[in-house]
Amino acid sequence: MTFRSVVLLAALSPLGALAAECVPAAFLGYSWPSKTKQTEGAKKAEIAALEEYAFTLTGTDDERKGIRTDGMVIIKGGEIIYEKYARGWDEFKPHLSWSVAKSVSSALTGVAAQQGLLKLEDSICEYLPNQSDATCKITVHQLIQFSSGIDWQEEYENSTYQVSSVIAMLFGEGHRDMLSFITRHRSFAEPGTKWRYSTAEATVLAAVAKAALAKKYGAADWAWSGLFDVLGMRGVYLEEDKLGTPMGGSHVFATPRDYARFGYLYLRDGCWNGKRVLPEGWVASSTTPSTPFIMTAGENEKTPSGWMWWLNKAAGPAKEKPWKDAPDDAYSAIGHWGQYVVVVPSADVVIVRTGDDRDSGISLAQLIPLALAVAK
Amino acid sequence: MKRALLVMVLFAAGCASRETDPQTYDNNDVELAVGNAARMSCSCLFVMKMPSDFCAAWVKASPNVAKFNIDIEKKVVEATALIDWGARAHYVDDRRGCILE
């Protein structure tokens, strides 16, 4: 059966019986088809424009100014069509994700749901026992939508350290037992009622996913057997605290090619090599602005949020899409200092960019159109 | 009576402001700086596999007070500052990377 006939059958099926099936697509084995040479020959002007923007250093390491791209990979139709590294990086070196890890934790939760090990409507105490009554009111669904109500202060290195919940958790009083540190924070709202971006929520979500997947795969293999090995992501690290709570909001390390595989899973609607890794509808839900975001996101957050993914939708307080010249269906995992895994279904493209932007940083609104021009 | 009422109002206002004030943490900047230096240097060297001069620049944070003791063989990074402050991170394995002790 050809690809086209499968798509046609799915569209014509009165019961939609094939809708839940995975559509055949290019599958990425350990080796990855590369067409970078062909792209270099055919897209000289487009590549020059992309590199002038993304790879032109304007400062020194001491200054840490401007756009500082470490790596970029563009996938189209399952093939690498562009790949470049700078500043000492290469295809084998795992790069810190920062908050791209949140999207990974979201996916790990989806893997557990697909395997019947977790339900979104469950209290998180189904997976994390011995918590307070207030903590047990929080569901997995509320966590994945950034609406737990935990009073978390998501400040980084440019703010006063003493009020940053993140810095206290990663490097200060919370680092040995992140889960206890998070759950002893007061609430600012009833769970499910208000949206607030928070590394705490992704960290707890990763702990929930670990508890669920560990039942099947064990505590050492949970993320690898459940997801990373399935996708052929061979260079992935997920750091933990001393008690084994994964740093699922910040500390995934992977090569740009591995991040591209992760994006490709979403591009293919949660399927890999013909098998469903994420539940049917998971990617659609992940890439729809969440109700708490629509109802309560403040003016300071203009990019709509789904299930720990960022969306090019006009659903935020600004009432206009954040990446103006990019397709409406583009969405991205986004990390501090300029880490991006962008998925553009309408172009059949995944764009990965790793970087070290310490001040203003690269603009996705500019980067996506430049990368899509290379992929066109 | 008026004085008692005033005390009660001020007490209530104090409680209310504590509920809305930002939470603060029991860490000083130097303690956080050495924690950052140890953890991030360990990850930079042994997870990201970047050279030591790159990592020294990459982990630099304010206040820039951390001094490093790096054991490449054992994959351990100790960061110290001033007289009292220190943190240690070590590489665990090819999945879990580094842990801040």
* Alpha carbon of A185: minimum distance to chain B alpha carbons (Å): 9
Which pLDDT does position B12 carry in this prediction?
46
pLDDT band at residue B3 using 50, 70 and 90 as cut-offs: low
* Assembly ipTM: 0.91
Q: Per residue in A294-340, pLDDT tens?
A: 999 887 788 999 999 999 999 877 789 999 999 999 999 999 999 99
What is the rounded average pLDDT of the residues A207-220? Answer: 98
- Residue B44 within a domain: yes
| Model confidence pLDDT, tens digit, residues A257-300 | 999 999 999 999 999 999 999 999 999 999 999 999 999 988 77
Residue B59 domain-assigned? yes
B8 within some domain = no
d(CA A372, CA A330): 11
Of the options 3.90.1170.50, 3.40.710.10, 3.40.630.10, 3.60.15.10, the CATH number for the domain spanning A33-93+255-376: 3.40.710.10
Fold classified for A100-235: Beta-lactamase (3.40.710)
- Residue B45's domain comprises 29-100
Spell out which residues of chain A touch residue B101, defining contact as CB-CB under 8 Å. Answer: 242
Mean pLDDT of A105-115: 98
Q: How far, in whole angstroms, is CA B11 from its chain's centroid? A: 34
Work out the average pLDDT over A345-349.
Answer: 98
pTM, rounded to two decimals: 0.91
Residue B16 lies in a domain: no
Chain B residues whose CB is inside 8 A of the A161 CB are 27, 29, 32
The nearest CA of chain B is from the CA of A196 a distance in Å of 15
Q: Given B31, B36, B95, which is nearest A238 (Cβ)?
A: B95
CB atoms within 10 A of CB A177: 16
What is the tally of structural domains in chain B? 1
Whether residue B60 lies inside any domain: the answer is yes
Residue A1, pLDDT score: 37
Closest CA in chain A for residue B93 = A237
- In one-letter notation, the amino acid at residue A184 is R
B17 is a domain residue: no
Taking CB atoms and an 8 Å cutoff, what residues of chain A touch B17?
A: none
Q: Give A3's pLDDT tier (boundaries 50, 70, 90).
A: very low
- Chain A's closest residue to B43, CA to CA, is A96
Mark out the alpha helices in chain A (DSSP H runs): 3-12, 36-42, 44-54, 100-114, 133-136, 140-144, 165-171, 178-183, 199-217, 222-223, 229-231, 256-267, 282-286, 291-296, 364-375
Please check whether residue B38 lies inside any domain of the structure: yes
Q: Is B89 helix (H, G, I), strand (E, B) or coil?
A: strand
For chain A, residues classed under CATH 3.40.710.10 are: 33-93+255-376, 100-235
How far are the Cα atoms of A68, A238, B39 from residue B43, in angstroms, in the given order?
20, 11, 6
User: Shortest CB distance from A93 goes to which of B36, B48, B87?
Assistant: B48
- Tell me which residue has tokens 């006009």: A314
Residues from chain A contacting residue B39 (CB–CB below 8 Å) = 170-171, 175
User: What is the nearest CA distance from A264 to chain B, expressed in angstroms?
Assistant: 22
Using a CB-CB distance cutoff of 8 angstroms, which residues of chain A are in contact with residue B29?
161
A77-91, A358-372, B11-25: least confident range: B11-25
Sign of the alpha-carbon dihedral angle for A77, A82, A86, A92: positive
- The answer to whether A93 and B50 are in contact (CB under 8 A) is yes
Asked if residue B51 is part of any domain, the answer here is yes
Question: Inter-chain contact B29–A161, Cβ cutoff 8 Å?
Answer: yes
